[in-house]
Amino acid sequence: MPTLVCFGDSLTAMEESIDGSERLTPRLRHHFSEWTIVNSGVPGETTRAALARLQDDVLRHAPDLVTILFGSNDASEHRRIEIMEFERNLEIMIDRISPQKTILISPPPIREAAQDKRSNVELEHYVEVTRKIAAKRGCYFIDLWEHFSHNDRYEDLLIQDGLHFNEQAYFVFSELIIEEIKSIHAKAV
């Protein structure tokens, strides 16, 4: 049975939203019923803290694929991880997992009016780093920033805090991952 580990911050963490709707990993389990899907998301986490738990929360599962989604906290004023360290942390993660098993995901935009510790201008620098790393390391990549920033109704996909996803956004997010995994397996056959 193949294993997928979803590694990230609060956008990955938890199985259900406050309203009881399914978040990322339950949606993936429905689609990939023959897979073991592990949720290794921790709310509020940066790449620095994530790197410290990589062995226990990701590698010990001997995953076939790993999604990595960080940046929203790294780019925030109150948890800031400087861009060079962010880049280095992601590169170490990808190298330890292996580029062939990594699906790197860029952080999405936020609704700035609801966020006083984050800005899209600053966050976009972290997005650029994820794009650069994906190309440099040759891992798989989902540009969540690009996908959501071109949606005129993107802000409607966020809950009141302007950062976290609502049910419809998790549907879109999970579909992007499902399509990427299907593409990976189609290439492997």
Q: With contact defined as beta carbons under 8 Å apart, do 9 and 3 qualify?
A: no
Q: What is the mean pLDDT of residues 129-152?
A: 95
Rounded Cα–Cα distance for residues 3 and 134 (Å): 21
Q: pTM for this structure?
A: 0.96
The answer on pLDDT for 189 being more than 80 is no
43-87 pLDDT tens trace? 999 999 999 999 999 999 999 999 999 999 999 999 999 999 999
12-47 pLDDT tens trace? 999 988 788 899 999 999 999 999 999 999 999 999
Q: Measure the CA angle with vertex 164, ends 6 and 40; round to 5°.
A: 20
Q: Quick one: pLDDT at residue 154?
A: 84
Could you write out the DSSP letters of every residue in 22-50? B-HHHHHHHH-TTSEEEEEE-TT--HHHH
DSSP 142: E
Q: Copy the structure tokens of residue 158.
A: 């966020």
79-138 pLDDT tens trace? 999 999 999 999 999 999 999 999 999 999 999 899 999 999 999 999 999 999 999 999
Q: Is residue 113 classed as helix, strand or coil in its secondary structure?
A: helix
Domain ranges within the chain, ordered by starting residue: 3-188
Rounded Cα–Cα distance for residues 105 and 71 (Å): 9
As assigned by CATH, the class of the 3-188 domain is alpha beta
Q: Which of 138, 154, 70 is nearest to 105 (CA)?
A: 70
Q: With contact defined as beta carbons under 8 Å apart, do 123 and 71 qualify?
A: yes
Amino acid at 10: S
